[in-house]
Amino acid sequence: MLNSTIEVLPQNRFDEAALDRYLAAHLAGYAGELRVRQFPGGFSNPTYALDALMEDGTRRDFVLRKRPAGNLLPSAHQVDREFRAIRALQDTDVPLPRAHFLCEDASVIGQSFFVMDHVPGRIFADPAMPGSTRAERDAVYGSMIETLACLHAVEPAAVGLADYGRPGDFLGRLVDRWTKQYRAAQTDDIPEMDLLADWLQANRPPMQPARIMHGDFRLGNLVIHPEEPRVMAVLDWELSTLGDPLADFAYHCMSWHIPPGQFRGIGGLDLEALGIPSEADYVRRYCERTGRGAINQSHWDFYIAYNLFRIAAILQGIMKRVVDGTAASAHARDAGKRAKPMAELGWQQVEKILRRAA
C-alpha cells in the first residue's frame, strides 16, 4: 500500500531542519510543522513521505525523492532526470503526480532531491495482485497497457524532450552501458552476464522509431486508484530516456518469464484462473492499442533477454551498495542476491533463440 511508511532508516537520515527551511522558501503555501517518514521501497533513490502544515490551516502530503548517500556510479540515481520527465509530461494523457521543484544544492540535505504531490492509492508489489478478483486483475492489466501506450504515443519534441536521450544505436549503447554498470558494481563472477553482453551486442534487431521510455514500467511503480482498477500515477522515472519503445514494453513483460518468488514473476502461474492475460494476449493488446503490426518473435525474444540482462545489472548495483553500506532499503540484500538468477534466465532466453535457429 502506498500509505505504508516506516521510520527513516539510519543510513537515509538527513537534516530535517534544513529541509524545513528550504521548503519554507520554495514550496508555495508551506507553513511548517514538517513530519518525515520513509517509504519502505526505493532500492535506488530513497523516497520519503512529507506531512506538512499549509498556510490555509490544512495538512498536505508530499513525496521527496533524493539521491542516496555515498560514492555513486556516474550515470545512476539521476533524480534530475526524474523531475524533468515528470514536469514535461505533466499535461499529457500520462497520469502523473505534480512535481513542485528540484534542488540540486547538495548542502541542503546531503544530495540533490525533488518534491512532488502524494497521490493516494494502492501499490501492488506482486504482479499476481493477491487479494484481488479476476475482474480487477484484468482491468488493472488493461489500464497498464493503456497507460504505457499513452506514454509511447507522446511526441518527444512536443513536450520539450527531443534532447532527452540519444536514440541512435540505442540498443548497442545500452548493452554497453549495462555491461559497464555491472562490471563497476561486480562483487562475484556471473558467467552468464559476460555471455549475454557479447551475444546481445552482436545480435541487435532494427531500431524502432524513438519514443519516451519510462525505463522501469511495472505494476509496483504504478499508483492504482484506492477503489477502482485503474492507474492514477506513474512513479520512478529515474531510468527514463529516449529510445526503443519495444525495449520498454518488453521490460514490462519480463514478469511472464520469471518464476514467482524470484523477482516480480508470474511465470508458471494459472493466469486464466487469476484473470491475468497471457503474454501473447498482452502483446497483442499493446500492438492493437499502439497501431503497430505483430512483433517479430526473434526480435521479441531478444528484447526479453536484453531486459533480463539489464535487470541483473541493476540488481548487482544494489548488491554493491549493500556491500558498501549505502543501500537505501532494508530489503536491498535480498534483491541484490537475485542478480545471478536473472542473468541465468536471460541466457536461457538466448538459448531458446539459438535452438530455434538451428
**Cα–chain-centroid distance for residue 231?**
15
Q: Which residue has the higher pLDDT, 204 or 67?
A: 204
Mean pLDDT of 16-37: 97
**Cα–chain-centroid distance for residue 57?**
35
Mean pLDDT of 107-116: 95
Q: Which residue has the higher pLDDT, 322 or 258?
A: 258
Mean pLDDT of 342-354: 94
pLDDT-derived band at 318, boundaries 50, 70, 90: confident
Query: Mapping DSSP to helix (H, G, I), strand (E, B) and coil, where does residue 83 land?
Result: helix
Asked if residue 321 has pLDDT above 70, the reply is: yes
Asked if residue 53 has pLDDT above 60, the reply is: yes
Reading the block at residue 344, the C-alpha cell is 541465468
Query: Mapping DSSP to helix (H, G, I), strand (E, B) and coil, where does residue 219 land?
Result: helix
Query: Which of 126, 119, 130, 6 is closest to 62 using CA atoms?
Result: 119
Mean pLDDT of 30-36: 97
Cα separation, 2 vs 41, whole angstroms: 10
Reading the block at residue 216, the C-alpha cell is 522501469
For the chain, which domains are there?
10-117 (3.30.200.20)
Burial class (CB in 10 A: 0-12, 13-18, 19+), 91: exposed
Q: Are the CB atoms for 41 and 329 separated by under 8 Å? A: yes
Reading the block at residue 84, the C-alpha cell is 524533468
Sequence-distant (6+) residues with CB within 8 A of 348 are none
pLDDT-derived band at 168, boundaries 50, 70, 90: confident
Scan for cell 497507460, then name that residue. Answer: 147
At 240-275, the pLDDT tens digits run: 999 999 999 999 999 999 999 888 899 999 999 999
pLDDT-derived band at 77, boundaries 50, 70, 90: low
Q: What average pLDDT does the chain have?
A: 92
Amino acid 42: pLDDT: 58
Amino acid 13: pLDDT: 92
Mean pLDDT of 292-309: 95
What residue ranges in the chain does DSSP mark as E strands? 30-38, 47-54, 59-66, 99-103, 113-117, 211-213, 222-224, 231-234, 241-243
Asked if residue 300 has pLDDT above 80, the reply is: yes
Asked if residue 330 has pLDDT above 80, the reply is: no
Main-chain dihedrals φ then ψ at residue 80, nearest 5 degrees? -65, -35
Global pTM reads 0.89
Asked if residue 4 has pLDDT above 60, the reply is: yes
At 176-230, the pLDDT tens digits run: 999 999 999 988 889 999 999 999 999 999 989 999 999 999 999 999 999 999 9
Amino acid 76: pLDDT: 59
Amino acid 71: pLDDT: 59
Q: Which residue has the higher pLDDT, 71 or 352?
A: 352
